[in-house]
Amino acid sequence: MEQGITMPKKPVYEELEKRVRVLEKSYFEIKQAQEALRDSESLFRNLFECHATVQLVIDPDSGNILNANNAAAKFYGGTREQLQQMRIQDFNTLSPEEIKQEMEKAKTNQRIHFEFHHRLVDGSIRDVEVVSSKIEAKGKDLLHSVIHDITERKRVDEEREKLQAQLNQAQKMESVGRLAGGVAHDFNNMLGAILGYTELGMLGISPTDPIHGTLTDIQKAAQRSVNLTRQLLAFARKQTVAPKLLDLNEIVEDTLKMLRRLIGENIDLAWLPGKDLGPVRMDPSQIEQLLANLCVNARDAIHDTGKINIETGTVTFDETYCAAHVGFVPGKYVLLAVSDDGCGMDAETLSHLFEPFFTTKEVGKGTGLGLATVYGIAKQNNGFIDAYSEPGLGTTFKIYLPLHATEAGRTTNMGAAQSAASGHETILLVEDEPMILDITTKILERRGYTVMAAPTSGEAIRLAREHAGEIHLLMTDVVMPEMNGRDLAKNLLSLYPKLKRLFMSGYTADVIAHHGVLDEGVQFIQKPFSVQTLAARVREVLDETK
Ligand code: ADP
Ligand code: MG
Check pLDDT > 60 for residue 62: yes
**Ligand 1 lined by 370 (C-beta under 6 Å):** yes
Please tell me the distance from the alpha carbon of residue 183 to that of residue 506, in angstroms, as a whole number: 12
Sign of the C-alpha dihedral computed for residues 279, 280, 285 and 288 taken in this order: negative
Please tell me the distance from the alpha carbon of residue 450 to that of residue 439, in angstroms, as a whole number: 14
**Ligand 1 lined by 376 (C-beta under 6 Å):** no
Atom of ligand 1 nearest to the CA of 370: 7
The Å distance, Cα 312 to ligand 2 centre, comes to 21
Q: What is the residue-averaged pLDDT of the chain?
A: 86
Confidence of residue 414 (pLDDT cuts 50, 70, 90): very low
**Ligand 1 lined by 289 (C-beta under 6 Å):** no
Q: Pick the residue whose CA is nearest to atom 10 on ligand 1.
A: 359
**Ligand 1 lined by 274 (C-beta under 6 Å):** no
pTM: 0.56
Among the listed residues 468, 467, 469, 481, the one whose alpha carbon sits nearest the alpha carbon of residue 430: 481
The Å distance, Cα 368 to ligand 1 centre, comes to 7
The Å distance, Cα 20 to ligand 1 centre, comes to 101
**Ligand 1 lined by 396 (C-beta under 6 Å):** no
pLDDT at 339: 93
Atom of ligand 1 nearest to the CA of 354: 6
Q: What is the mean pLDDT of residues 377-400?
A: 90
Return the ligand number nearest the Cα of 296. Answer: 2
528 prior amide bond cis, ω within 30: yes
182 against 13, higher pLDDT:
13
pLDDT at 412: 33
What's the pLDDT tens digit per position in 313-343?
998 888 877 777 777 888 899 999 999 999 9
What's the pLDDT tens digit per position in 480-526?
777 878 889 889 999 899 999 998 876 543 333 444 445 666 787 77
Among the listed residues 247, 403, 249, 260, the one whose alpha carbon sits nearest the alpha carbon of residue 311: 249
Q: Pick the residue whose CA is nearest to atom 19 on ligand 1.
A: 297
**Ligand 1 lined by 231 (C-beta under 6 Å):** no
Please tell me the distance from the alpha carbon of residue 478 to that of residue 508, in angstroms, as a whole number: 9
**Ligand 1 lined by 366 (C-beta under 6 Å):** yes
- Find the angle CA(272)-CA(275)-CA(276) to the nearest 5 degrees: 145
What's the pLDDT tens digit per position in 273-289?
999 899 999 988 889 88
Query: 397 pairs with which residues across the strands?
Result: 338, 387
Atom of ligand 1 nearest to the CA of 367: 3
Strands 395-402 and 384-389, how do they pair?
antiparallel
Check pLDDT > 80 for residue 106: yes
Confidence of residue 367 (pLDDT cuts 50, 70, 90): confident
**Ligand 1 lined by 229 (C-beta under 6 Å):** no
Atom of ligand 1 nearest to the CA of 373: 6
pLDDT at 399: 95
The Å distance, Cα 360 to ligand 2 centre, comes to 10
**Ligand 1 lined by 343 (C-beta under 6 Å):** yes
Q: Pick the residue whose CA is nearest to atom 11 on ligand 1.
A: 359
pLDDT at 483: 80
pLDDT at 420: 47
**Ligand 1 lined by 367 (C-beta under 6 Å):** yes
220: enclosing H helix or E strand: helix 210-235
Confidence of residue 411 (pLDDT cuts 50, 70, 90): very low
Backbone angles phi, psi at 214, to 5 degrees: -60, -45
Residues 6+ apart with CB under 8 A from 322: 328, 329, 330
The Å distance, Cα 220 to ligand 1 centre, comes to 26
Pocket test for ligand 1, best of 297, 358, 362 (most atoms within 8 A of CB): 297
The Å distance, Cα 324 to ligand 1 centre, comes to 26
Fill in the amino acid letter for 93.
T
CA dihedral 415, 416, 422, 428 (to 10 degrees): 40
Return the ligand number nearest the Cα of 228. Answer: 1
Please tell me the distance from the alpha carbon of residue 346 to that of residue 298, in angstroms, as a whole number: 15
The Å distance, Cα 371 to ligand 2 centre, comes to 6
Atom of ligand 1 nearest to the CA of 358: 10
Give, in order, the Cα–Cα distances in Å from 232 to each of 176, 186, 377: 10, 12, 11
Pocket test for ligand 1, best of 371, 373, 395, 396 (most atoms within 8 A of CB): 371
The Å distance, Cα 369 to ligand 2 centre, comes to 7
The Å distance, Cα 398 to ligand 1 centre, comes to 15
Strands 395-402 and 244-246, how do they pair?
unpaired
The Å distance, Cα 294 to ligand 1 centre, comes to 8
Check pLDDT > 60 for residue 301: yes
Strands 267-272 and 244-246, how do they pair?
unpaired
Fill in the amino acid letter for 12.
V
Return the ligand number nearest the Cα of 295. Answer: 1
